[in-house]
Structure 1
Amino acid sequence: MNAVELEIGEPDDAARRILGGTITVGDVSVRIVEVEAYGGPLDGPWPDPAAHSFRGPTARNEVMFGPAGRLYVYLSYGMHLCVNVSCGPDGTAAAVLLRAGEVVAGHHVVESRRAGRGPRSARVEAGWARGPGNLGRAMGVSLEDNGKDVFDASSPVTLDLLERPLHEKIVGSGPRVGVSAAADRPWRFWVLGSPSVSSYKRSPRAAAPGGSEA
């Protein structure tokens, strides 16, 4: 598997391609069960006012401008590290936010990182990496991982894609969570039936459903 697979099609195609894949950091591996696609600026092929890259490249978002397969890690609300994977050709902004996952290896490590969530149980484990901030904490990523090539076997963070995308019958889709612009764009995808998928929350700053630019 390599970055070329993410460059074929639009950001939502890349999001579907990543869904079901496995991201690994050290001893911890997480199966990705929820993702969101994001585009770029007005002069790009996928204008997206909800994307960090909408106003052009900055020191913070430059990884979004490619090449594909690079980790884009940013701090949200001064406390949550969110993990994305760039998916556009070099120079073109697009990325996929990893919203939620199921821990498949390194459970003891994640349990220590998520201490305070209650006695270990299937319900507690399902919430370890539910939501982008929790996923980043469970994985133990840092801002130093920003820009790493997830398809390089020597990288501290690697991504293994499935041999083929998940069948559409087991994939849900809908609007992205918490964005105030382009709030109706159906670029969020999740594995149906997974207990680790987060709940949909519409931004109070977004227009009423149907009234937002898609």
Structure 2
Amino acid sequence: MSTARVFLLAPALARLIEKERGGHHIRQGYFPDRPDRSTHVQVEGETGQLVLVAHQPTGPVEQVTDIPRSQAEALLELVAGRVEHLRVSLTIGPQPVTLRRFVTPGPLDLIIVIAEPSKQIRTFQPPAWFGPEVTGDPAYQTRSMALAGLPAAPEVEITNAALHSLLDTLDGRSGVHEPQAAAPQPVASTKSAEAEAETDDEQDLNDLEIEDSVIRELARSLSPRRL
């Protein structure tokens, strides 16, 4: 089963992504939850789908059935709550991500990072243009927003670093403007300095010995000779 991480995104950055990449308009309608299952209907373009999620002890099991768009449209009129959003796909390096620009029940922009558990999604490092992570907040789940409305999302700040990082992503140059760790200083340089200091000390000692030897010889040459 896939795992996901969810992040907020500043509306201006989401608008820039939409302008560059386009997207697909999706409508989803959710029926009231039942203890053993949940159901929703989805319309994307000319395609309709009925999605049944069975709650099993081992986790949710999803079953998707294609249905005519006319039937999906009719079911949308019977749901307890609905959402509409624009879905935009892009990649950050090798990692695929999805932008969801919600218009119903209200404006909200989310970035979804999805991967198989074997790919260690928890080690994914969000770039500078991502907003705060809201993965653990059930209020940001699509079903919750359809049935209970939008959560009170905080305003996401836009910085120069975030803008440059997003432009790099759109140009396929992820990480160019990301903060880089300082390069460690080579240990050899310290040893070299110590070696130079030891060499200088040895040279000074040799110079003193030579100077002392010269003084002794000069003293002998000036001293009177005994007959």
The answer to which structure has the higher strand fraction is 2
Q: Which has the higher Rg, Structure 1 or Structure 2?
A: 2
Structure with greater contact order relative to length (CA < 8 Å, sep ≥ 6): 1
Q: What TM-score do the two structures reach when normalised by structure 2?
A: 0.27
The answer to which structure has the higher helix fraction is 2
